[in-house]
Amino acid sequence: MRKKNLLALTSTLLLSLSMVLGGCGNNGGNNASPSSESPASTPAGESASPSASSVVGEPVTLTAFLFNMDKRQALEETFKKFTEQNPNITVDLLVNDQDYYTVLKTKIASNDMPDIVMGEYGDLLELGQAGHILDLASDAYIGNYSEQIRSQMKTPDGKIYGIPLDISGMGIFYNKDLFKEAGIEAFPKTQTELLAAVDKLKAKNISPFGLAVADGWTLAHTLFTTIAGTTDDVKALAESAKAGQSIQSDRLKQGFKTLDTIYGNTDPQAASNNYNASLSLLAQGKVAMLQQGYWAYSSITDINPEVNLGFGAIPYSDNPDEAKMGVNVNVSYAITAKSAHQEAAKKLFEWLTTKEGNAIANENMKQIPAIEGVTVSSNPIADDILSYVNEQKVVPWSQVLMNGSTRVEAEANMQGYFFKKKTVEEVVTDIAKSWAKK
């Protein structure tokens, strides 16, 4: 086993991340610092608002409806730690990673909402504006986040609909041992270098890429990273798309050549592989690369703790300076407006945003903490992501600026592209139209 180093999200790192992302990763276009009416910073671990900190008398079971199946066990362990300190509150975890938003909308329509839900910024904004989840901006535990992180959580009108536990990266996992076997000295920074690496791997009878075509969301993510990686200002592009303007560009079209390289050089079972199968292929050394997010790392190492991986930015041109990592505040957790246990849910959120609770959650899930000063065990992938952050070579995610419907439509579009039933122009046009829908 590799020696574990300590990983802490320091104030310097947070400032660097904020400067690079310009506060646009999760703030819906609001690039300002938190307003004067935002809660003052509360040292992590101190009590939050009276309502969140009040003792819950009768036993309460919170239902949390989430979609991160690969983190289920880690979340259950985290919630058990919370219950040890709060014996009157337990958390019942319900997970659906296939059609989460469809099921959630059904629950809303049938008045069967859980206490806690999760989502990207755009999803929570939509749910919040419709009155389905609570605005948490006035809760004191929000002050446990730094100003830089809070600026990514806030909506343009100052509301905060959810709490993130971590920051995350999206790029390409690569097997260092297979790279060495094929004579590849460093992860490619250009499309030409990526093609050369593919040729070297194939010469050694090594499948270059894993792919999970059966799980359309994984293909949708290859589109989202391409959109973000081929523009200088993701926030401006999102606003342009929402205004009904085209997002077509020569850079975006060039970026699709990277997808052609990935899609055209996958393992033979790519068309039927699901997410878990693709992780297994990488973990077992049956493919050399896999485009995914950092969240997959814990599942990969559960399969093979000794796998020797690195994590690189996806090249979308032949300019090495344009190879940047997609880094953003990760998905957030929200409290539903019709929950009968809002105070208990807020007590959970208060604990998750303390240094202790955030450390337990991120240690269990092998994530990069969103709370300043939290220290967890490091790993090579987290170190690779933070190296891009420190070099200010990162871009925000584009999907957090979309609503759930657009992301779902992207799945079918990219499956169509994989099977050569859709062109680049058709995919980009369809996504732009969906992005513009209110």
Q: Are residues 224 and 213 in the same domain?
A: yes
Q: Are residues 157 and 196 in the same domain?
A: no
Q: Which residue has better confidence, 50 or 380?
A: 380
Reply yes or no on whether the pLDDT at 44 is more than 50: no
pLDDT for 4 equals 44
Lowest mean pLDDT among 47-61, 142-156, 338-352: 47-61
Lowest mean pLDDT among 27-31, 32-36, 185-189, 346-350: 32-36
pLDDT tens readout for residues 420-432? 999 999 999 999 9
Mean pLDDT confidence for 22-44: 33
Mean pLDDT confidence for 159-180: 96
pLDDT tens readout for residues 388-407? 988 889 998 999 888 878 99
Reply yes or no on whether the pLDDT at 9 is more than 80: no
Whichever domain contains 255, its CATH number is: 3.40.190.10
Q: Are residues 117 and 207 in the same domain?
A: no
Q: With CA atoms as reference, report the closest residue to 89 among 135, 132, 52.
A: 52
Tell me the pLDDT band of 330, cut-offs 50, 70 and 90: confident
Average pLDDT, the chain: 88
Please report whether residue 389 resides in a domain: no
Q: Which residue has better confidence, 22 or 358?
A: 358
Reply yes or no on whether the pLDDT at 208 is more than 90: yes
Mean pLDDT confidence for 27-42: 30
Reply yes or no on whether the pLDDT at 48 is more than 60: no
pLDDT for 438 equals 62
Mean pLDDT confidence for 242-270: 96
Please report whether residue 388 resides in a domain: no
Amino acid at residue number 329: V
Which residue range forms the structural domain that includes residue 10? 6-165+330-382
Reply yes or no on whether the pLDDT at 20 is more than 70: no
pLDDT for 361 equals 96
Query: Can you say whether residue 158 is alpha, beta or left, with left for phi > 0 and alpha for psi between -120 and 50 degrees?
Result: left
Q: With CA atoms as reference, report the closest residue to 267 among 218, 223, 212.
A: 212
Please report whether residue 396 resides in a domain: no
Q: Are residues 156 and 244 in the same domain?
A: no
Q: Are residues 311 and 340 in the same domain?
A: no
The percent of residues above 70 in pLDDT, for the chain, comes to 87
Reply yes or no on whether the pLDDT at 340 is more than 70: yes
Q: With CA atoms as reference, report the closest residue to 233 among 370, 401, 386, 389.
A: 401
Structure tokens at 308: 């020797």
Total count of domains within the chain: 2
Is 304 exposed, middle or buried (CB count within 10 Å of its CB: 0-12, 13-18, 19+)?
Answer: middle
Mean pLDDT confidence for 271-275: 96
With the CA atoms of 278, 280, 282 and 287 taken in that order, what torsion angle do they form, in degrees rounded to the nearest 10?
Answer: -70
CA end-to-end span of the chain: 50
Reply yes or no on whether the pLDDT at 105 is more than 70: yes
Reply yes or no on whether the pLDDT at 209 is more than 80: yes
